[in-house]
Structure formats: structure tokens, C-alpha cells
Structure 1
Amino acid sequence: MAGALRVDSTVTSGTFSLDGQTYDVDNNVWVLGDDDECLVVDPAHDLDAVAALAGARRVLAVVLTHAHDDHCREAPAAGARFRAPVLLHPADAPVWRLTHGDLRWDADLADGDVLDVAGEQVHVLHTPGHSPGSVCLHVPALGTVLTGDTLFQGGPGATGRSYSDRPTIEASVRSRLFVLPDGTVVRTGHGASTTVGEEAEALGR
């Protein structure tokens, strides 16, 4: 038996660079699947740790919530290692090129796409603001949403750097995430998980 759909995670450490500045960061890496197959979401910094998390499962795709270098730097190598396509929203192309130049990811994500894994559906929500092509991954069967850097415990992700915009991210959070059930668990790109209800109460719908 393949078992039920679940989310596994690990934390990897490295750097994030943009606009001439570099920061030390810890990233949450998420693997969504059952005992047989999975999606790898944002394989940051340490591919050996990511591979250990995926185990012997067949990786259907490497899914990027956005193209900041801490999230996408290892994506081509992850795609090759897992023999899986790398998926990214095309609006993040200029951000991706900062790290990978003319090398392209394998397939585009679009708002409303549905990814199938372990007999369940993962819904792609385009949530621009932190970057133009940021997406969140809503998994109704698990009552969870993987938000990358769009929503954290404590509010929306950072703006103020190139390719980001505060009013846009706030509109994305309110229109795409705060409409989900309040009990939906928010699994973030960095730091602790939270819920839609907690963040909606703090920020205001």
C-alpha cells in the first residue's frame, strides 16, 4: 500500500542574494506525496538532505514557489538528480535569469493548474507580490497551503527589493489565501507554520 498523502519537511541552510546584498537563511523544503511518489517543493541549498527526504519515491516534479536564488539555485541539479521536470510560473523569468541566465526551467505553472500526486490534487494559486510569479500550492485533502514566501507567521512576505510590491502581495494574500478555510495550515518557505485564520485576524481580511 502506498499510504495516505502527507507532507514531509526538512530545513536547509544557505544564502539568499539580491540587489547586491547577501543574507544567511534557513529554508523549509517540502515533499508532498505518499510512500510511492511525491512532489519536491523548493529544494533549497542541500540536495543530499532533499534526496534523503524524498527517499526512494518517484519524484513527479520539482515545484518552485518562486525564483529567488535560495529557492531555485539547486533546482536544475534537483531536476537532473530526480529525473523530474522543474516547474515555475513564467512571470518569474527575470528573477530566474539572475541565477540561471539563459538556462530555462522545464515547464510553466499557471494559475488554476492542478497537479496530481498520490491520488489527490494540488491547486496552483498565482500570488504575485513577493515576486511576479510567486505561487502557492493549496492541498484541500490535507487542509494545507504551501505559501513559499507569500505568507508567513506574522504576515505577508518581504517586499522592497527588486521585482516585489507591497500592495500587490497584500492583494494576493487577501484575495487568494484569506478566502481559504480558517483552519487551513500555512506551510511557509521560512520559519514556523501558521493558519489562514490566525493571519487573517492579524492582518485583517
Structure 2
Amino acid sequence: MNIRHLVTSGQFTLDGGTWDVDNNVWLVGDDREVIVIDAAHDAEAIAAAVGDRELTAIVCTHAHNDHINAAAPLADRTGAPIWLHPADRVLWRMVYPDRDPDGDLADGQELTVAGTVLRVLHTPGHAPGAVCLHAPELTTVFTGDTLFRGGPGATGRSYSDFAAIIASIRERLLTLPAETVVRTGHGETTTIGDEAPHLEEWIARGY
């Protein structure tokens, strides 16, 4: 079992603004099968990283365009299903008005790849259908844009909510073991133990 990290570059667009972004794409699996978490920007590069392994699922932590804009091309190329929490369909349709995801993610759902379980944690705030994927056997949680090194994801745009993201982080993420590695949607990794002491200061400054 291994975790591979790919960085792809493109643009994030919402509320009439556009920003250049670098996204983390995570591949979790072994020599035979793999899942992709957040197919961003470059389906060809992601497919190359998958190689000749079976791609069993394309999992979306949320449906902002920069996290899903390579999902459909990658699915078309590989036949893999796309999974998304249904609360994020409103954002999904901004990118794919004529295509639905193939399956719905639900809180507590377990996805298995190469014998390793990833448990879905619904963590609304950055987006209504945001999820994190906790892999206890790998001492890892994939947080999308819910938690970064240094603070929560942004909540100043449509369909986001600061109180909700703080509650998600407090109740769903900071309750994980301190040594859990946080693998984020953008930027560097961190750990639950490194981020937990800063929750109250994030709240105080409305981070």
C-alpha cells in the first residue's frame, strides 16, 4: 500500500472571480488497484500516475471546479466511477451541468482499496458536501480544503460557512489521533497534533 502525491495546476473560479491554483491529487493503492482523491486540472497526468493499475474510484472531497475539472475526462478514459457527497451537487452542476456523479458519498461510508479502508467523514463548511477520508491503517486523513497547515479552508464565498467548518474540524478531525497525517487539497501536509492547539485562535480571528 502506498500514497502518491501529484501536484497539478490550473484555475479556481467562483462568484465571478478566477485564481491560479496548485492542487494536490492523491493516489492511494498498491501495484494492482488505486483510487484518486480530487482529480484536478490534468486528466492525462493523473492517468499517467495511475499507469496500468485498475482505477477503482475517483473520489471528490468537494465540488469546487479546481477539484473536479479532470474527474469526467479521467472517468471517460478509465471507466472509473466518480463519487461525491450529494450536498455538493449545486457546485458540481456549475462544472458539469449535463452529467451527474456515478455515486453518492455518505458520512460513515467505507471505501476499500487494496485492502485498506478509507472512512468518509462529512465535514461541511468550505462547501456543503465537503468530506474528508480517514485511513486509520495509514495514520492519515485526506482533508481536501477543510483543514490546511495553519488553519481551516476558506469560507468567504458562496455555499460556505465559517461556523460549520469550525464545528467540522473540532468534532470530526481534531478528535482523530494526534499523530494522524493531514494530507490537504493544497499546500503542505501537517498533523492533527500540530493543528489542534490553534483552534481557538482561528475562531478568534474568524480565520
Q: TM-score, normalised by structure 2?
A: 0.95
SS in 2 for 1:50: helix
Match of 2:191 among 187, 191, 195: 195
Hey, what does 1:98 align to over in structure 2? 94
Unpaired runs of 5+ residues, structure 1, are: none
Paired AA for residue 42 in structure 1: D
Deviation of the 1:102 alpha carbon: 3.4
**Percent identical across equivalent pairs?**
58
SS in 2 for 1:101: coil
Paired AA for residue 33 in structure 1: G
Are 1:117 and 2:117 counterparts? no
Hey, what does 2:138 align to over in structure 1? 142
Match of 1:55 among 51, 54, 71: 51
Distance in 2 between the 1:152 and 1:53 partners?
A: 24
Given that 2:147 and 2:169 are in contact with CA atoms closer than 8 Å, whether structure 1 keeps it comes out as yes
Hey, what does 1:33 align to over in structure 2? 29
Given that 1:90 and 1:133 are in contact with CA atoms closer than 8 Å, whether structure 2 keeps it comes out as yes
Given that 1:9 and 1:53 are in contact with CA atoms closer than 8 Å, whether structure 2 keeps it comes out as no
Match of 1:152 among 99, 123, 148: 148
Match of 1:128 among 115, 124, 148: 124
Hey, what does 2:205 align to over in structure 1? none
Paired AA for residue 176 in structure 1: R
Unpaired runs of 5+ residues, structure 2, are: 202-207
Are 1:7 and 2:7 counterparts? no
Given that 2:43 and 2:71 are in contact with CA atoms closer than 8 Å, whether structure 1 keeps it comes out as no
Instruction: Give a deviation string over 1:68-101, Cα, whole Å, max 9, x none.
Output: 0000112111111121100000000111111111
Given that 2:126 and 2:161 are in contact with CA atoms closer than 8 Å, whether structure 1 keeps it comes out as yes
Q: Which runs of 4+ in 1 moved over 3 A?
A: none
Hey, what does 1:107 align to over in structure 2? 103
Instruction: Give a deviation string over 1:36-76, Cα, whole Å, max 9, x none.
Output: 10111111111121112111110000000000000011211
Deviation of the 1:107 alpha carbon: 0.4
Given that 2:75 and 2:81 are in contact with CA atoms closer than 8 Å, whether structure 1 keeps it comes out as yes
Given that 1:29 and 1:44 are in contact with CA atoms closer than 8 Å, whether structure 2 keeps it comes out as yes
Match of 1:44 among 24, 28, 40: 40
Distance in 2 between the 1:197 and 1:150 partners?
A: 16
Given that 2:116 and 2:137 are in contact with CA atoms closer than 8 Å, whether structure 1 keeps it comes out as yes
Deviation of the 1:204 alpha carbon: 4.2
Paired AA for residue 194 in structure 1: T
Instruction: Give a deviation string over 1:138-197, Cα, whole Å, max 9, x none.
Output: 001100000000000011100010000000000000100000000000000000000001
Paired AA for residue 154 in structure 1: G
SS in 2 for 1:22: strand
